[in-house]
Structure 1
Amino acid sequence: MVSFPNAKVNLGLNITEKRSDGYHNIESVFYPIAWADMLEVVKSEEQHFQTTGLPIPGDAANNLIIKAFDLLKNEGLMPDAHVNIHLHKILPMGAGIGGGSADGAFMLKLLNEVFELNLSITQLQGYASQLGSDCSFFIENKPMYCFGRGNEFETVNLDLSKKTWVLVNPQIHISTAEAYASIKPQKPEVSIKEIIAQPINTWKDTLVNDFEIGLKDKYPKILEIKDKLYGLGAIYASMTGSGSTVFGIFDKELEGLSEMFSGCICWQGKGI
């Protein structure tokens, strides 16, 4: 069985306060887009994990796909199961678009179907939350207001599926620790949930990503890409997550992306 774990973007991201447990409270709106990896799972006599596409650094045992499989197996849901797993990696890693989290969440959904586990959405979300803060978002995979430490979600009424999304990744690696080092948490005057309820052409001056503000001086390329997207006619543009991917929302398709953003990974398509 094959599925296509897709990316998401952050429409705004506020770091509202530091928690007593060392994490931070945030608020954002997660929006799913059609840029995706390919993940195949087939029942097998032996366990096998193969990857193609973009090289994935680190130990395969730490991949969220494997962790998802081990989680359900250790829960006793498929004690004797073995599978062949093939991940074709398209989404750049550490890009602020949730590619790894999507892979883990979609693996849970695939296993639920392949082994007919009959897990509910709520149960799948519970398992996904054990893999990572934003993994449970990809279970329902629809626009959500995100709050708490990034693991609480509330459905929002937002449909941007007819817009054209352009994502530009300058292949700059920014660790989460580095992104947070430049942040001074504070509660915003207006919640992101209120801002995204307004027309999209009003977002430019009100919808911000706190990480972008903190990183723009150290990584001027991010601001250059953002300004270029606005120059090309973007209705709204911003860095997503902790970076370094920048996205623009358009009423039209663009031509020659790879030439305009030389040295970057680019994608153009629709939201979900």
Structure 2
Amino acid sequence: MLDFPNAKINLGLYVTAKRPDGFHNLQSCFYPVKWCDALEILPAKEERFEMTGLPVPGDPASNLCLKAYRLLQQDFALPPVHMHLHKVLPMGAGLGGGSADAAFTLRILNKLFELNLSAAALEDYARQLGSDCAFFVQNQPVIATERGDVFERFSLDLSGYACVIVYPGIHITTAEAYGSINPKEPSCGMEILLKQDLDVWKTVLHNDFEDALFPKYPELAAVKEKLYGAGAVYASMTGSGSALYGLFKAGEVPATLVFPEHYLVWQGLL
């Protein structure tokens, strides 16, 4: 069974408090985009996991796809599988690629072996794998709170916009990003901010990690400025970085918007 784990972008991201467990509470809107990895899982005589595409650092045995498989295997005695992940989404970019791979593994296994798990049950498994994994089970716009794993469905349709995502090749770890954050409550709730006209998001919607990381990595600020200079209605860093995105009215992404060859750039309709 083949599926395509997709990325997400953050529309605003506010780090509101440090938690007793060492994590942070946040408020953000998660929105799915169509930039994807590819993941195939087939029944097999013996367990096998392989990766192609972008290199993934670390031991393949600790990959989130395998962790997701073993999590379900504990409860359902799953047979061996052959799993092939083709990695397209960059790591350390704030796009949720690894989390999407894990959630889609759960989704595929649920269908492949007819486990009949509900979306809520899949989300409970996904939360054991990472803070934002559960989002990719239903893959619809949400307001995310607490660790980014508590969701409220939010009606938001950006299908009339094109999105340009730019990854400048700067890998920012979660520890580095959060290490320089000063948590604070936003001036008002995410729902109020997002219900304003998109043309004013530039002045009211913010990602707190930009304050922490732009001074350290001026290249990120330069990408955001370039997106606005090309006519983006709204531009921001996503997650804890380092990818940035710009939202453009459909058909208005200029052909002159180019970036250095070592950047990864994706463009598509939302």
**Coarse TM-score class (shorter-chain normalised):** over 0.9
Counterpart position of 1:169 = 167
Residue 256 and residue 52 in structure 1: after superposition, are their counterparts in 2 closer, same or farther (change >3 A)? farther
When structure 1 is superposed on structure 2, of 194-203 and 246-255 the one drifting more is 246-255
Question: Aligned partners of 1:35 and 1:110: how far apart in 2?
Answer: 19
Question: Aligned partners of 2:60 and 2:103: how far apart in 1?
Answer: 16
Counterpart position of 2:48 = 48
Identity value in percent = 52
Residue 178 and residue 80 in structure 1: after superposition, are their counterparts in 2 closer, same or farther (change >3 A)? closer
Counterpart position of 1:260 = 259
Question: Aligned partners of 1:195 and 1:108: how far apart in 2?
Answer: 33
Question: Please, which runs of 5 or more residues in structure 1 have no aligned partner?
Answer: none
Question: Aligned partners of 1:57 and 1:20: how far apart in 2?
Answer: 30
Structure 2 length as normaliser, TM-score? 0.97
Counterpart position of 2:87 = 89
Question: Aligned partners of 2:5 and 2:42: how far apart in 1?
Answer: 16
Question: Aligned partners of 1:57 and 1:149: how far apart in 2?
Answer: 25
Question: Aligned partners of 1:213 and 1:193: how far apart in 2?
Answer: 22
Question: Aligned partners of 1:246 and 1:140: how far apart in 2?
Answer: 24
Cα deviation digits, residues 55-99 of structure 1 (max 9, x gap)? 111111211100000000011x1x150111111100001110000
Question: Aligned partners of 1:112 and 1:254: how far apart in 2?
Answer: 42
Quote how far apart the aligned CAs of 1:39 are: 0.3
Counterpart position of 1:63 = 63
Quote how far apart the aligned CAs of 1:256 are: 5.5
Question: Aligned partners of 1:232 and 1:261: how far apart in 2?
Answer: 16
Whether 1:119 and 2:111 are equivalent positions in the alignment is: no
Quote how far apart the aligned CAs of 1:28 are: 0.3
Question: Aligned partners of 1:173 and 1:260: how far apart in 2?
Answer: 18
Question: Aligned partners of 1:149 and 1:182: how far apart in 2?
Answer: 17
**Pairing 1:74-223 to 2, within 5 Å after superposition:** 74-75=74-75, 77=76, 79-223=77-221
Q: Which amino acid aligns with 1:109?
A: R
Please list every run of at least 4 consecutive aligned residues from structure 1 whose deviation after the TM superposition is greater than 4 angstroms: none
Cα deviation digits, residues 229-253 of structure 1 (max 9, x gap)? 0010000000001101000000123
Counterpart position of 2:33 = 33
Q: Secondary structure at the match of 1:260?
A: coil
Cα deviation digits, residues 116-163 of structure 1 (max 9, x gap)? 111111111110111111000000000010001211000011001221
Q: Which amino acid aligns with 2:171?
A: H
RMSD (Å) for aligned C-alpha atoms: 1.1
Quote how far apart the aligned CAs of 1:193 are: 2.0
Whether 1:270 and 2:269 are equivalent positions in the alignment is: yes
Residue 247 and residue 73 in structure 1: after superposition, are their counterparts in 2 closer, same or farther (change >3 A)? same
Question: Aligned partners of 2:128 and 2:78: how far apart in 1?
Answer: 22
> Are the aligned partners of 1:168 and 1:261 in contact in 2 as well (CA < 8 Å)?
no
Question: Please, which runs of 5 or more residues in structure 2 have no aligned partner?
Answer: none
Structure 1 length as normaliser, TM-score? 0.96
Counterpart position of 1:21 = 21
Q: Secondary structure at the match of 1:161?
A: coil
Question: Aligned partners of 1:177 and 1:11: how far apart in 2?
Answer: 21
Quote how far apart the aligned CAs of 1:263 are: 2.4
The number of aligned residues is 268
Question: Aligned partners of 1:57 and 1:178: how far apart in 2?
Answer: 17
When structure 1 is superposed on structure 2, of 79-88 and 124-133 the one drifting more is 79-88
> Are the aligned partners of 2:72 and 2:78 in contact in 1 as well (CA < 8 Å)?
no
